[in-house]
Amino acid sequence: MASEFEASVTEWVADNLPQALVGVNLGMYGPDTSDPAVLDAFEVWRSRLADKGWGAPTWPAEYGGAGLTDAQAKVITKALARAGSSNPIPYLAGMGVTMVGPTMLEYGTEEQKAEHLPGMASGKVRWCLGLSEPNAGSDLASLSTRAHKDDAGWVINGQKTWTSGADKSQWCGALVRTDPDAAKRDGISFLMLRMDQPGVETRPISLIAGESPFCETFFTDARAENDALLGALNDGWSVIKRLLQHERQSQTNTPVTSAYTDPVHVVAKRYLQTTADGKLADADLRARLADHLMDKSAHELTIARIMADARGGNVEVSATASILKNSATDVAQMRSELLLEIMGYQGLGWEGAGYTAEELHAVREWLGGKAMSIYGGSYEVQKNIISKNILGLPETTQKG
């Protein structure tokens, strides 16, 4: 029996979701269409969700949220899925709702929260993050982008790479070196700057999967305001560790099914021989599919257990996010591997009438999914975090 809250959510969605969006993939930047009716409906939907506070439902109402619990937010997500839609605002905000915003709630000043959080929660302002550099990837503390203070604010020079959505963002949160003489993790600060200024240049990066959100970003005497520091001066390492925990937490719910394909065991029966009683004839594949489905269920049940342990409060973001990040990676990548094996030659197409949309998506998803082992902190970095912070094993990596 549905709870009173779930019933009210279901009723609100039924009354407010535009019919033109039912079953439409809302994408990372909005629907991939030029149909004005769909685009108009999308803006209506974004506005209604923002007014309801459901763009970032667990944030306080004064910052554009709804002050709900994580459990209630999950009810909203499920209700939207049942109605054939989703909440596009976390995608429209880029790194805002999932990463910068939660970190700002902890480290930001009241003025910073009031200025920035409502724009994220409404999906009107997109944020990117300037973290990795050509010579500072997994060893992020080796970054060389610098910032120094003058009378008008901060001056930033350097290069970032893999900056997701940089070419479409209005703001960037950048990790910069503010004390070059300090130990490498002690002289770093987190600065917030506008992207639409003469000192910022972005160059999109093409990937083997086709579409790519990634960019190179160049700062040449770029400017940030005097109050642009998030957290304390030279304590950016503490800020970024927390931000990356929020990133991993958001990735633990990475879909391990796809909007473009049926469950993998259902797909298998369309492509491969079955026995008289409807089982897949390949016993080895049956066993591997069963293993995959059990891993998927274990991952989802672990998330549910963590949510239940919170007893309706906010789920604590901790090193356990590293476990779930690696688990989500394993499940999603195995799913893609199994799909390509099942589809055979039909799962290797790139374009043309000889392939279905499902088949063309499968190969792109397989290629794009390789990045899951790298972004948000590599698979190996997560294992180091798990070994030190959960298992209590000694430090084995180089300290800086």
Q: Which residues are catalytic?
A: 247
Q: Is 212 helix (H, G, I), strand (E, B) or coil?
A: coil
Q: Is the separation of the CB atoms in 132 and 162 below 8 Å?
A: yes
80 membership: H or E segment, kind and range: helix 70-82
First to last CA, the chain: 55
Give burial (CB, 10 Å; 0-12/13-18/19+) of 394.
exposed
Q: Is the separation of the CB atoms in 188 and 181 below 8 Å?
A: no
Which tokens in the block code for residue 152? Answer: 């008008």
C-beta neighbour count of 250 within 10 angstroms: 19
241: Cβ contacts below 8 Å, ≥ 6 apart: none
Q: Which residue, among 70, 127, 76, 68, has the nearest Cα to 101 in the 3D structure? A: 127
Which tokens in the block code for residue 24? Answer: 């439409």
Which tokens in the block code for residue 214? Answer: 């990634």
Q: Is 196 helix (H, G, I), strand (E, B) or coil?
A: coil
- 153 has which bridge partners? 150
- Residue 203 CA to residue 166 CA, distance in Å, equals 9
